[in-house]
């Protein structure tokens, strides 16, 4: 019922996403009093510390089990997932002011988005949260049923000594991973994808508005005003797109590297782990599928952004420009020339987020595995 209220609010584009960021300690509210600011900052720092505790303790646990290849690879996989989440959170915290500025400019732009798009922005994070929580909970319950650790981690006590120690160790892992790592990562994915969805819809709106321009002597003044607004909006969207790409280029680089490493680890797991260790193998495959889905979402939206920004040039060419005055034809030519250079999301200035980048990341992961496999053989 709480989310239904968000769906009906048309004032802002990113209500649910920003609320999610607020709950996970990444988006302080501007109207907070001094005491609330201090409390929220303490909450944010506490979550940072908990995520670091998870990374450090599981890293030590991975090293301690280096003799058991199954446990070592399984732990390494889950630890790298946490590294991926924590690094992206750190990048976001460093760039948070830039994100705040971008969102304020978007909300002050006067643009409109459809109710379906607002629902999609909200449902995206809700569905991902349910899926990720379900997968983690499933393997957590399975580990609890078998009296095994969800992930091997160093503890100041022996988790296997008795049931009390085991439950305490499990609670520490759950508390230090769920909100500080997992939910924070989902919140970041939600806001990034929502901004991209907003841009794509605005590019489509520009295409429709350009195609709808019909010149006649009677409506020349109105058409010139409309065309001027289209050009201003196009320039604004170009600015927003470049701001988004610059702000999150390290974020996307971490994402791409994580997918390649995940692919490599899972290929090694399949070839090196005995088929009898079905639980370990199943957890690997489940986390791989989740990582591939998340990477696909980023790359698909990046690809859609390229297509829709380029589509403005085609929409301008397909308009009834031959009947326009000469000065407007020249202005339209400038629009076409600008739109022919697609707007994209950069991953550290190394690769552009697209379906090609997605397939390349998978190929890189398999290539690394093949080299390592040949070296071992």
DSSP string covering 155-171, please?
-SS-TTSSHHHHHHHHH
How far apart are alpha carbons 268 and 281 in whole angstroms?
Answer: 11
- CB contact at 8 A, 365 and 268: no
In the three-class reduction of DSSP (H, G, I as helix; E, B as strand; rest coil), residue 346 is classed as: strand
Q: What is the pLDDT of residue 316?
A: 92
Find all residues with CB under 8 Å of 148, minimum gap 6, and list them: none
The pLDDT of residue 306: 94
Q: In the chain, how many domains are there? A: 1
Is residue 170 a contact partner of residue 147, using CB atoms and an 8 Å limit? no
The residues facing 347 across adjacent strands are 351
| Distance separating alpha carbons of residues 92 and 222, to the nearest angstrom | 43
Interacting residues of 80 by C-beta distance below 8 A, sequence separation 6+:
258, 261, 262, 265
CA angle 252, 256, 260 (to 5 degrees): 170
Note whether 47 and 25 are within 8 A (CB). yes
pLDDT on residue 260: 81
Q: Report how far residue 311's alpha carbon sits from residue 217's, in angstroms, rounded to the nearest whole number.
A: 28
* Whole-angstrom distance, CA of residue 63 vs CA of residue 42: 32
Burial (CB count <10 Å: 0-12, 13-18, 19+), residue 266: buried
pLDDT given for residue 280 in this prediction:
63
pLDDT of 4 reads: 40
131's tokens: 């899926």
For 25, left (φ over 0), alpha (ψ -120 to 50), or beta?
left
Per DSSP, the residues of 79-112 read HHHHHHHHHHHHHHHHHHHHHHHHHHHHHTS---
In this prediction the pTM is 0.88
**Residue 346 backbone dihedrals phi, psi, to 5 degrees:** -100, 140
- pLDDT given for residue 2 in this prediction: 40
Instruction: List, as own/partner pairs, every contact residues 93-100 make where C-beta atoms lie below 8 angstroms and the sequence separation is at least 24, other chains included.
Output: 93/26, 95/247, 95/248, 95/250, 95/251, 96/26, 96/27, 98/243, 98/246, 98/247, 99/191, 99/247
Pairwise CA distance, residues 209 & 199, whole Å:
15
Whether the Cβ atoms of residue 314 and residue 332 lie closer than 8 Å to each other: no
Residue 273's domain comprises 2-376
Rounded average pLDDT per 10-residue block, the chain, 377 residues? 39 81 92 90 94 92 82 80 90 93 90 83 86 80 76 85 86 89 91 93 93 87 92 94 93 87 74 62 72 87 94 92 90 92 88 87 73 59
Q: What is the pLDDT of residue 351?
A: 87
């Amino acid at each position: 019922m709480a989310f239904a209220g968000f769906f009906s609010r048309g004032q802002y584009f990113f209500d649910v996403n920003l609320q999610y960021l607020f709950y996970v300690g990444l988006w302080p509210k501007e109207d907070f009093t001094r005491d609330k600011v201090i409390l929220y900052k303490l909450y944010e720092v506490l979550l940072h510390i908990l995520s670091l505790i998870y990374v450090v303790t599981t890293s030590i646990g991975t090293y301690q089990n280096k003799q058991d290849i199954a446990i070592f690879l399984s732990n390494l996989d889950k630890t790298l997932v946490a590294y991926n989440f924590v690094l992206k959170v750190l990048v976001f915290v460093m760039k948070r002011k830039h994100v705040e500025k971008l969102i304020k400019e978007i909300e002050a732009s006067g643009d409109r988005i459809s109710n379906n798009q607002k629902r999609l922005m909200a449902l995206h994070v809700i569905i991902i949260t349910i899926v990720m929580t379900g997968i983690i909970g499933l393997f957590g319950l399975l580990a609890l049923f078998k009296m095994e650790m969800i992930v091997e981690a160093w503890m100041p006590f022996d988790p296997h000594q008795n049931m009390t120690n085991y439950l305490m160790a499990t609670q520490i892992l759950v508390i230090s991973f769920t909100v500080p790592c997992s939910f924070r990562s989902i919140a970041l994915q939600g806001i990034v994808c929502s901004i991209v969805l907003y841009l794509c819809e605005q590019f489509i709106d520009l295409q429709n508005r350009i195609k709808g321009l019909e010149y006649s002597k009677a409506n020349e003044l109105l058409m010139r005003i409309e065309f001027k607004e289209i050009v201003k909006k196009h320039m604004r969207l170009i600015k927003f797109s470049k701001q988004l790409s610059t702000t999150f280029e390290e974020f996307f680089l971490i994402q791409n590297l994580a997918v390649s490493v995940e692919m490599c680890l899972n290929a090694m797991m399949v070839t090196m782990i005995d088929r009898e260790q079905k639980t370990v193998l199943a957890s690997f495959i489940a986390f791989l599928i989740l990582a591939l889905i998340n990477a696909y979402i980023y790359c698909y939206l990046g690809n859609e952004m390229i297509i829709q920004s380029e589509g403005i040039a085609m929409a301008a060419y397909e308009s009834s420009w031959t009947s326009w005055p000469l000065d407007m034809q020249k202005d339209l030519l400038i629009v076409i020339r600008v739109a022919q250079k697609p707007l994209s999301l950069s991953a550290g200035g190394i690769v552009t987020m697209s379906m090609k980048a997605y397939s390349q990341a998978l190929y890189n992961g398999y290539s690394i595995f093949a080299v390592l496999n040949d070296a071992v053989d």
